[in-house]
Homo-oligomer: A and B are copies of this chain.
Amino acid sequence: MALDTRKFDALLTQLKGLECKDMYDNDFFLTWEKTDDELKAVWTVADILRTLREGNVSTKVFDSGLGISLFRDNSTRTRFSFASACNLLGLEVQDLDEGKSQIAHGETVRETANMISFMADVIGIRDDMYIGKGNAYMHAVSDAVREGHDAGVLEQRPTLVNLQCDIDHPTQTMADMDHIIHYFGGIENLKGKKVAMTWAYSPSYGKPLSVPQGVIGLFTRLGMDVVLAHPEGYEVMGEVEEVAKANAARSGGSFTKTNSMAEAFRDADIVYPKSWAPYAAMEQRTELYGNGNFDGIQALEQQLLAQNAQHKDWTCSEKLMSTTRDGKALYLHCLPADITGVSCEAGEVDASVFDRYRDPLYKQASYKPYVIAAMIFLSKFQDPAAVLRQLAERGQQRQFEMK
């Protein structure tokens, strides 16, 4: 369990070459609001934190302090990833459970944000269910605590990490990309790689759009050829498609769309088959909820299920996999997947495909705690490289080791 100093030094040198000072005292909402250097800083710090932990070096930079989590949707992996990230840095997680709180009794966002933040260093929020709401809510919270800090109410300003909103899922896609970078042996090897971000059939409805949107908004920045595939009627947010196009133009990659899963998979280096709900339907649902029209919601859900059922052939089968680059594209999923014959009768992926990729899939997920920790870290230290160097020198053990 000794620190791999060569690896550590190499990563640190990399980090020093990146311009990331604007991340200090700042939030992380959408990947496309960050510069390339800033994203690289997240991956590099994530790798450094992991290297230190593997070397049994503590990266506890907080002696006390809270990490507040607010999940407005069920979650296992993101919840535990956030908890792990906070713990790694020395923050104790406090979950704002809206059921147990007085929020229902008329507290405003501004008030609640300040009331929970007296000793909070970071706030992580998942709010992905309603179009136009989640990201806006996060901004409202961030503005509130910034004002609270400016007014002298909060001694420190808690920075915000978007744990999934209606637009993007940056901790997921940044972890996905960290996995890809490692898999292909470096960011420099990604140019020209073909990525198929495709819709896939699921017997459930209403899955958020943040993953496909986040993927096309991020992967197009690395010179990859990103294909977005879905049946007609499953469009994602137009604004994010514009982001993807602009990214591709800048990075020397491409962003194309197709209504054929086969076309997307052909010669792909990476496939990401996953169900989502049509953007238009999600907008409609948001409106119905807003009006308290529950009959309308139920009708919409039935309609969505019927619509999904017309596309059961959109599944990541062995046959489709065999058409990818050497039949060996890297299969990605944010998990949990709907696996045909395992978690449902017919779903997003064949059981044999999923089984073959289990270890890489779990590794993909394993980057998330480090990516979140890196986002927090970069928002807390003006000179992250210097701090990481001093942490290595401090040499505090994560687990007690015999002298």
Contacts and interface: CB of A to CB of B under 8 A. Distances in A.
A81 B118 contact: yes
Contacts of A339: 106
A100 interface: yes
A325 interface: no
A397 interface: yes
Nearest to A380: B399
Contact of A75 (B102, B112, B403): B102
Contacts of A358: 110
Classify chain A: how many residues form its interface, as a range: 35 or more
Nearest to A73: B102
Interface string A66-89: 100001001111011101100110
A62 interface: yes
A114 B212 CA distance: 24
A283 to B, nearest CB: 23
Contacts of A22: none
Given A107-B336, A366-B118, A87 B100 contact: no
A143 interface: no
A359 B153 contact: yes
Contact of A362 (B148, B365, B383): B148
Contacts of A380: 399
Contact of A92 (B87, B359, B402): B87
Interface string A325-356: 00000000001101100111000000000000
A266 interface: no
A65 B53 CA distance: 10
A258 interface: no
Contacts of A204: 105
B118 A62 contact: no
A101 interface: yes
A114 B335 CA distance: 12
A55 B195 CA distance: 50
Given A106-B343, A119-B88, A155-B53, A62 B399 contact: yes
Contact of A61 (B81, B363, B400): B400
8 contacts: A60-B63, A63-B399, A76-B102, A76-B115, A105-B336, A115-B362, A118-B369, A121-B399
